[in-house]
Protein backbone atom coordinates (compact mmCIF):
# COMPACT_ATOMS: atom_id res chain seq x y z
CA UNK A 1 0.00 0.00 0.00
CA UNK A 2 1.37 3.45 -0.94
CA UNK A 3 2.14 5.95 1.75
CA UNK A 4 -0.75 8.24 0.73
CA UNK A 5 -3.28 5.38 0.79
CA UNK A 6 -1.91 4.19 4.13
CA UNK A 7 -2.32 7.69 5.59
CA UNK A 8 -5.87 7.93 4.20
CA UNK A 9 -6.79 4.56 5.66
CA UNK A 10 -5.20 5.52 8.96
CA UNK A 11 -7.16 8.77 9.03
CA UNK A 12 -10.42 6.91 8.43
CA UNK A 13 -9.69 4.51 11.28
CA UNK A 14 -8.76 7.41 13.55
CA UNK A 15 -11.94 9.30 12.66
CA UNK A 16 -14.06 6.22 13.31
CA UNK A 17 -12.32 5.65 16.63
CA UNK A 18 -12.87 9.27 17.67
CA UNK A 19 -16.55 8.96 16.70
CA UNK A 20 -16.98 5.83 18.83
CA UNK A 21 -15.20 7.47 21.73
CA UNK A 22 -17.42 10.52 21.36
CA UNK A 23 -20.57 8.39 21.42
CA UNK A 24 -19.31 6.49 24.45
CA UNK A 25 -18.47 9.76 26.20
CA UNK A 26 -21.97 11.13 25.50
CA UNK A 27 -23.55 7.94 26.84
CA UNK A 28 -21.34 8.08 29.92
CA UNK A 29 -22.29 11.73 30.47
CA UNK A 30 -25.99 10.80 30.44
CA UNK A 31 -25.62 7.92 32.83
CA UNK A 32 -23.24 9.87 35.08
CA UNK A 33 -25.70 12.74 35.47
CA UNK A 34 -27.92 12.14 38.53
CA UNK A 35 -31.46 10.84 38.01
CA UNK A 36 -33.97 13.50 39.02
CA UNK A 37 -37.22 11.88 37.84
CA UNK A 38 -38.92 9.75 35.23
CA UNK A 39 -40.79 10.01 31.94
CA UNK A 40 -43.45 7.57 30.74
CA UNK A 41 -45.35 7.07 27.49
CA UNK A 42 -48.30 4.81 26.71
CA UNK A 43 -46.86 2.48 24.05
CA UNK A 44 -50.35 1.80 22.61
CA UNK A 45 -49.12 -1.56 21.36
CA UNK A 46 -51.55 -4.16 20.03
CA UNK A 47 -52.33 -7.44 21.82
CA UNK A 48 -50.30 -6.52 24.91
CA UNK A 49 -50.06 -2.81 25.66
CA UNK A 50 -46.83 -1.50 27.14
CA UNK A 51 -45.49 1.53 29.01
CA UNK A 52 -42.21 3.07 27.87
CA UNK A 53 -40.16 4.27 30.84
CA UNK A 54 -37.13 6.59 30.96
CA UNK A 55 -34.94 8.04 33.69
CA UNK A 56 -34.62 11.82 33.56
CA UNK A 57 -31.17 13.13 34.37
CA UNK A 58 -30.11 16.47 35.84
CA UNK A 59 -28.58 17.49 32.50
CA UNK A 60 -31.93 16.93 30.77
CA UNK A 61 -30.97 13.72 28.99
CA UNK A 62 -33.10 10.58 29.25
CA UNK A 63 -32.13 6.90 29.31
CA UNK A 64 -34.42 3.84 29.10
CA UNK A 65 -35.25 2.21 32.41
CA UNK A 66 -34.03 -1.38 32.79
CA UNK A 67 -36.86 -3.66 31.69
CA UNK A 68 -38.63 -1.03 29.59
CA UNK A 69 -41.10 -1.32 27.93
CA UNK A 70 -43.29 -2.59 30.79
CA UNK A 71 -46.52 -4.58 30.52
CA UNK A 72 -49.67 -2.50 30.99
CA UNK A 73 -52.09 -5.42 31.07
CA UNK A 74 -54.58 -4.38 28.39
CA UNK A 75 -54.23 -3.88 24.64
CA UNK A 76 -53.49 -0.85 22.52
CA UNK A 77 -54.62 -0.14 18.97
CA UNK A 78 -51.24 0.19 17.28
CA UNK A 79 -52.53 3.33 15.55
CA UNK A 80 -52.62 7.00 16.51
CA UNK A 81 -55.23 7.97 19.11
CA UNK A 82 -55.47 11.66 18.14
CA UNK A 83 -55.74 12.60 21.80
CA UNK A 84 -53.97 14.40 24.62
CA UNK A 85 -53.45 12.77 28.02
CA UNK A 86 -53.46 9.05 27.18
CA UNK A 87 -51.30 8.51 30.28
CA UNK A 88 -51.39 10.48 33.51
CA UNK A 89 -49.81 10.35 36.95
CA UNK A 90 -51.64 10.69 40.24
CA UNK A 91 -50.96 14.04 41.97
CA UNK A 92 -48.53 12.37 44.41
CA UNK A 93 -46.64 10.64 41.56
CA UNK A 94 -47.21 7.19 43.04
CA UNK A 95 -49.44 5.82 40.29
CA UNK A 96 -49.73 5.92 36.51
CA UNK A 97 -53.08 5.62 34.74
CA UNK A 98 -52.91 4.59 31.08
CA UNK A 99 -55.57 3.95 28.45
CA UNK A 100 -55.76 0.54 26.79
CA UNK A 101 -57.62 1.75 23.71
CA UNK A 102 -57.65 -1.65 22.02
CA UNK A 103 -59.33 -3.50 24.91
CA UNK A 104 -61.56 -0.68 26.26
CA UNK A 105 -59.74 -0.65 29.59
CA UNK A 106 -57.69 1.52 31.94
CA UNK A 107 -54.49 0.23 33.55
CA UNK A 108 -53.14 1.45 36.88
CA UNK A 109 -49.45 0.98 37.64
CA UNK A 110 -47.59 1.75 40.86
CA UNK A 111 -44.25 3.54 40.48
CA UNK A 112 -41.73 1.47 42.45
CA UNK A 113 -38.05 1.86 43.32
CA UNK A 114 -35.99 3.16 40.43
CA UNK A 115 -39.10 4.36 38.61
CA UNK A 116 -40.19 0.90 37.53
CA UNK A 117 -44.00 0.78 37.00
CA UNK A 118 -45.75 -2.36 38.30
CA UNK A 119 -49.38 -3.19 37.54
CA UNK A 120 -51.95 -2.82 40.29
CA UNK A 121 -54.34 -5.72 39.79
CA UNK A 122 -56.02 -6.15 36.42
CA UNK A 123 -57.09 -3.35 34.04
CA UNK A 124 -60.66 -2.15 34.54
CA UNK A 125 -63.33 -1.37 31.96
CA UNK A 126 -63.14 2.22 30.75
CA UNK A 127 -66.94 2.52 30.85
CA UNK A 128 -67.15 2.87 27.08
CA UNK A 129 -65.36 2.08 23.83
CA UNK A 130 -61.80 3.12 22.88
CA UNK A 131 -60.56 5.23 25.80
CA UNK A 132 -58.19 7.93 24.53
CA UNK A 133 -57.64 10.33 27.43
CA UNK A 134 -57.71 10.21 31.23
CA UNK A 135 -57.80 12.91 33.91
CA UNK A 136 -57.01 12.69 37.64
CA UNK A 137 -58.01 15.32 40.20
CA UNK A 138 -56.29 16.11 43.49
CA UNK A 139 -59.10 14.35 45.33
CA UNK A 140 -58.60 11.10 43.40
CA UNK A 141 -61.58 11.54 41.10
CA UNK A 142 -60.79 10.14 37.64
CA UNK A 143 -62.58 10.72 34.34
CA UNK A 144 -61.96 8.88 31.10
CA UNK A 145 -62.87 10.05 27.59
CA UNK A 146 -64.04 7.20 25.35
CA UNK A 147 -64.10 7.87 21.62
CA UNK A 148 -65.24 4.63 19.97
CA UNK A 149 -68.35 3.79 17.98
CA UNK A 150 -71.19 2.68 20.22
CA UNK A 151 -69.54 3.84 23.44
CA UNK A 152 -68.41 7.47 23.24
CA UNK A 153 -68.56 9.62 26.34
CA UNK A 154 -67.09 10.38 29.76
CA UNK A 155 -67.00 7.92 32.67
CA UNK A 156 -65.99 8.56 36.28
CA UNK A 157 -63.91 6.53 38.74
CA UNK A 158 -62.32 6.81 42.17
CA UNK A 159 -58.61 6.12 42.62
CA UNK A 160 -58.14 4.35 45.96
CA UNK A 161 -55.16 4.61 48.30
CA UNK A 162 -53.80 1.27 47.08
CA UNK A 163 -54.23 2.17 43.43
CA UNK A 164 -57.62 0.52 42.98
CA UNK A 165 -59.90 2.10 40.37
CA UNK A 166 -63.62 1.96 41.18
CA UNK A 167 -66.41 3.21 38.88
CA UNK A 168 -68.62 6.05 40.11
CA UNK A 169 -72.14 4.64 39.62
CA UNK A 170 -74.27 6.60 37.16
CA UNK A 171 -71.42 8.92 36.18
CA UNK A 172 -71.23 8.15 32.45
CA UNK A 173 -72.18 11.01 30.12
CA UNK A 174 -72.73 9.82 26.56
CA UNK A 175 -71.83 11.91 23.50
CA UNK A 176 -72.45 11.25 19.80
CA UNK A 177 -69.86 8.98 18.19
CA UNK A 178 -69.12 11.74 15.68
CA UNK A 179 -67.86 13.94 18.54
CA UNK A 180 -64.42 12.34 18.32
CA UNK A 181 -63.33 13.13 21.88
CA UNK A 182 -59.68 14.19 22.08
CA UNK A 183 -58.96 15.33 25.63
CA UNK A 184 -60.43 15.40 29.14
CA UNK A 185 -58.99 17.25 32.15
CA UNK A 186 -59.89 18.93 35.44
CA UNK A 187 -59.45 22.50 36.54
CA UNK A 188 -56.84 23.08 39.26
CA UNK A 189 -59.42 22.77 42.04
CA UNK A 190 -61.18 19.80 40.46
CA UNK A 191 -64.55 21.59 40.36
CA UNK A 192 -64.73 21.86 36.56
CA UNK A 193 -64.10 19.29 33.84
CA UNK A 194 -63.38 20.08 30.18
CA UNK A 195 -63.51 17.74 27.19
CA UNK A 196 -62.70 18.49 23.56
CA UNK A 197 -64.67 17.21 20.58
CA UNK A 198 -62.18 17.04 17.72
CA UNK A 199 -64.70 15.55 15.30
CA UNK A 200 -67.43 18.15 15.70
CA UNK A 201 -65.21 21.10 16.74
CA UNK A 202 -66.85 21.67 20.12
CA UNK A 203 -65.89 21.93 23.78
CA UNK A 204 -67.73 20.18 26.63
CA UNK A 205 -67.78 22.05 29.93
CA UNK A 206 -69.02 20.48 33.16
CA UNK A 207 -69.35 21.42 36.80
CA UNK A 208 -68.18 18.55 39.02
CA UNK A 209 -70.78 17.84 41.69
CA UNK A 210 -69.82 16.76 45.25
CA UNK A 211 -70.50 13.08 44.52
CA UNK A 212 -68.28 13.09 41.46
CA UNK A 213 -71.04 13.34 38.87
CA UNK A 214 -71.04 15.91 36.07
CA UNK A 215 -73.46 18.75 35.39
CA UNK A 216 -73.22 20.23 31.90
CA UNK A 217 -72.75 24.00 31.88
CA UNK A 218 -75.48 26.04 30.26
CA UNK A 219 -74.67 26.27 26.55
CA UNK A 220 -72.38 23.20 26.56
CA UNK A 221 -71.06 21.90 24.23
CA UNK A 222 -69.64 25.24 23.08
CA UNK A 223 -68.80 25.79 19.42
CA UNK A 224 -65.04 26.13 18.90
CA UNK A 225 -63.33 29.06 17.24
CA UNK A 226 -61.89 26.90 14.49
CA UNK A 227 -61.86 23.30 13.35
CA UNK A 228 -60.71 20.32 15.37
CA UNK A 229 -60.48 21.20 19.05
CA UNK A 230 -57.96 18.75 20.50
CA UNK A 231 -55.36 19.67 23.13
CA UNK A 232 -56.37 21.98 25.95
CA UNK A 233 -55.27 23.09 29.40
CA UNK A 234 -56.15 25.48 32.20
CA UNK A 235 -53.52 28.00 33.24
CA UNK A 236 -51.71 26.73 36.37
CA UNK A 237 -51.44 30.32 37.62
CA UNK A 238 -54.92 31.60 36.71
CA UNK A 239 -57.34 28.65 36.87
CA UNK A 240 -60.18 30.51 35.13
CA UNK A 241 -58.13 30.82 31.92
CA UNK A 242 -58.57 27.97 29.44
CA UNK A 243 -56.58 27.43 26.25
CA UNK A 244 -57.63 25.11 23.41
CA UNK A 245 -55.90 24.19 20.15
CA UNK A 246 -57.69 24.36 16.79
CA UNK A 247 -55.91 21.61 14.90
CA UNK A 248 -57.83 21.16 11.65
CA UNK A 249 -57.97 24.64 10.13
CA UNK A 250 -55.64 23.64 7.29
CA UNK A 251 -52.03 24.18 6.19
CA UNK A 252 -50.49 27.24 7.85
CA UNK A 253 -53.80 28.21 9.47
CA UNK A 254 -53.39 26.80 12.98
CA UNK A 255 -54.72 28.77 15.95
CA UNK A 256 -55.04 28.56 19.72
CA UNK A 257 -58.15 29.86 21.50
CA UNK A 258 -58.25 31.54 24.90
CA UNK A 259 -61.37 31.37 27.07
CA UNK A 260 -62.50 32.53 30.48
CA UNK A 261 -64.15 29.73 32.42
CA UNK A 262 -66.92 31.20 34.56
CA UNK A 263 -68.12 29.88 37.92
CA UNK A 264 -70.83 27.68 36.41
CA UNK A 265 -68.68 26.50 33.51
CA UNK A 266 -69.73 29.02 30.88
CA UNK A 267 -66.91 29.74 28.41
CA UNK A 268 -66.35 33.19 26.92
CA UNK A 269 -63.51 34.22 24.55
CA UNK A 270 -60.61 36.35 25.77
CA UNK A 271 -59.43 39.34 23.76
CA UNK A 272 -59.13 38.77 20.01
CA UNK A 273 -59.15 34.97 20.36
CA UNK A 274 -58.31 32.79 18.43
CA UNK A 275 -54.58 33.51 18.08
CA UNK A 276 -52.78 32.35 14.93
CA UNK A 277 -49.41 30.59 14.96
CA UNK A 278 -49.01 30.31 11.17
CA UNK A 279 -48.35 26.56 11.41
CA UNK A 280 -50.17 23.36 10.53
CA UNK A 281 -52.10 21.22 13.01
CA UNK A 282 -51.34 22.71 16.44
CA UNK A 283 -52.70 19.72 18.30
CA UNK A 284 -51.18 19.60 21.78
CA UNK A 285 -50.98 22.29 24.44
CA UNK A 286 -48.71 22.69 27.47
CA UNK A 287 -48.43 25.76 29.75
CA UNK A 288 -45.47 26.78 31.90
CA UNK A 289 -45.98 26.29 35.62
CA UNK A 290 -45.97 30.04 36.23
CA UNK A 291 -48.70 30.53 33.61
CA UNK A 292 -46.59 32.96 31.55
CA UNK A 293 -45.96 30.84 28.43
CA UNK A 294 -47.88 28.42 26.25
CA UNK A 295 -46.35 25.80 23.95
CA UNK A 296 -48.27 24.02 21.22
CA UNK A 297 -46.92 21.12 19.17
CA UNK A 298 -47.63 21.57 15.46
CA UNK A 299 -47.90 18.00 14.22
CA UNK A 300 -48.14 18.98 10.56
CA UNK A 301 -45.19 21.41 10.69
CA UNK A 302 -42.75 19.44 12.83
CA UNK A 303 -42.20 22.29 15.28
CA UNK A 304 -43.41 23.88 18.52
CA UNK A 305 -44.97 27.34 18.70
CA UNK A 306 -44.39 29.51 21.76
CA UNK A 307 -46.76 32.19 23.03
CA UNK A 308 -46.44 34.56 25.94
CA UNK A 309 -49.61 34.78 28.04
CA UNK A 310 -50.65 38.24 29.19
CA UNK A 311 -52.22 38.58 32.65
CA UNK A 312 -55.67 38.91 31.04
CA UNK A 313 -55.18 35.62 29.16
CA UNK A 314 -54.57 37.05 25.70
CA UNK A 315 -51.74 35.48 23.72
CA UNK A 316 -48.73 36.90 21.88
CA UNK A 317 -46.92 34.60 19.44
CA UNK A 318 -43.15 34.70 20.05
CA UNK A 319 -41.93 32.17 17.49
CA UNK A 320 -41.54 28.49 16.64
CA UNK A 321 -38.82 25.93 17.31
CA UNK A 322 -38.10 23.01 14.94
CA UNK A 323 -37.97 19.44 16.25
CA UNK A 324 -35.06 17.43 14.87
CA UNK A 325 -36.48 14.41 13.06
CA UNK A 326 -39.94 15.86 13.66
CA UNK A 327 -43.08 15.90 11.57
CA UNK A 328 -45.14 13.36 13.47
CA UNK A 329 -44.93 14.74 17.01
CA UNK A 330 -47.85 14.66 19.40
CA UNK A 331 -48.24 15.09 23.15
CA UNK A 332 -45.80 17.17 25.25
CA UNK A 333 -45.14 17.56 28.97
CA UNK A 334 -43.02 19.85 31.11
CA UNK A 335 -40.86 18.41 33.86
CA UNK A 336 -42.02 19.11 37.43
CA UNK A 337 -39.39 21.86 37.76
CA UNK A 338 -40.40 23.35 34.40
CA UNK A 339 -36.83 23.28 33.06
CA UNK A 340 -37.39 20.78 30.24
CA UNK A 341 -40.18 20.01 27.78
CA UNK A 342 -40.48 16.41 26.55
CA UNK A 343 -42.27 15.65 23.28
CA UNK A 344 -43.68 12.32 22.13
CA UNK A 345 -42.51 11.95 18.51
CA UNK A 346 -44.84 9.02 18.00
CA UNK A 347 -44.74 8.87 14.20
CA UNK A 348 -40.95 8.56 14.13
CA UNK A 349 -40.66 6.66 17.43
CA UNK A 350 -38.51 9.29 19.11
CA UNK A 351 -38.61 11.20 22.39
CA UNK A 352 -37.40 14.79 22.05
CA UNK A 353 -36.34 16.96 25.00
CA UNK A 354 -35.95 20.75 25.05
CA UNK A 355 -34.40 23.08 27.62
CA UNK A 356 -36.91 25.75 28.64
CA UNK A 357 -35.84 29.34 29.34
CA UNK A 358 -39.00 31.38 29.71
CA UNK A 359 -40.69 30.99 26.34
CA UNK A 360 -37.51 29.94 24.53
CA UNK A 361 -36.94 26.27 23.69
CA UNK A 362 -33.57 24.73 22.84
CA UNK A 363 -33.36 21.08 21.87
CA UNK A 364 -30.75 19.26 23.95
CA UNK A 365 -27.66 17.77 22.26
CA UNK A 366 -28.72 14.32 23.53
CA UNK A 367 -32.13 14.62 21.81
CA UNK A 368 -33.88 12.79 20.23
CA UNK A 369 -33.88 9.41 21.99
CA UNK A 370 -35.34 6.34 20.20
CA UNK A 371 -38.59 4.85 21.52
CA UNK A 372 -39.17 1.08 21.59
CA UNK A 373 -40.30 -0.34 18.26
CA UNK A 374 -43.93 -1.25 17.70
CA UNK A 375 -47.22 0.38 18.55
CA UNK A 376 -48.01 4.03 18.20
CA UNK A 377 -46.95 5.77 21.44
CA UNK A 378 -49.64 8.04 22.88
CA UNK A 379 -49.44 10.54 25.70
CA UNK A 380 -46.51 11.45 27.90
CA UNK A 381 -46.08 12.19 31.58
CA UNK A 382 -43.14 13.25 33.75
CA UNK A 383 -42.68 12.85 37.48
Q: Are 305 and 329 in contact (CB under 8 A)?
A: no
Beta bridge partners of 370: 350
**Longest distance between any two alpha carbons in the chain, whole Å:** 86
Q: Distance from CA of residue 287 to its chain's centroid?
A: 12
* CATH architecture classification, 34-382: 7 Propeller (2.130)
113: preceding bond cis by omega (within 30 degrees): no
Phi, psi of 24 (to 5 degrees): -65, -40
- Predicted confidence pLDDT, tens digits, the chain (383 residues): 443 332 233 333 333 332 333 333 334 445 589 999 999 999 999 999 999 999 999 999 999 999 999 999 999 999 999 999 999 999 999 999 999 999 999 999 999 999 999 999 999 999 999 999 999 999 999 999 999 999 999 999 999 989 999 999 999 999 999 999 999 999 999 999 999 999 999 999 999 999 999 999 999 999 999 999 999 999 999 999 999 999 999 999 999 999 999 999 999 999 999 999 999 999 999 999 999 999 999 999 999 999 999 999 999 999 999 999 877 899 999 999 999 999 999 999 999 999 999 999 999 999 999 999 889 999 999 99
Q: How many CB atoms are closer than 10 A to CB 29?
A: 14
Going from the C-alpha of 309 to that of each of 317, 320, 321, the distances in angstroms are 9, 15, 18
Radius of gyration of the chain (CA): 21
Ranges of H-type helices in the chain: 3-32
Amino acid sequence: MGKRKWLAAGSSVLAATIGLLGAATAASASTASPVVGYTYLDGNTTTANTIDGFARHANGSVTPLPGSPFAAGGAGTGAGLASQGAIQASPDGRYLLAVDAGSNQISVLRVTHGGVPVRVGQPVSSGGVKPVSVAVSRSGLVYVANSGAGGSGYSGFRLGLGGSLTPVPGSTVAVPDAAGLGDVFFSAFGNHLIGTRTGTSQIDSFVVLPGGHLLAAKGSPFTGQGLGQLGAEFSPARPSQLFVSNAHNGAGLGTVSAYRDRFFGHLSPIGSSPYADGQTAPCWVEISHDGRYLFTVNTGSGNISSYSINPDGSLVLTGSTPISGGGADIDARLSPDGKTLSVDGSGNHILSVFAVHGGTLTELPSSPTPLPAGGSPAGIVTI
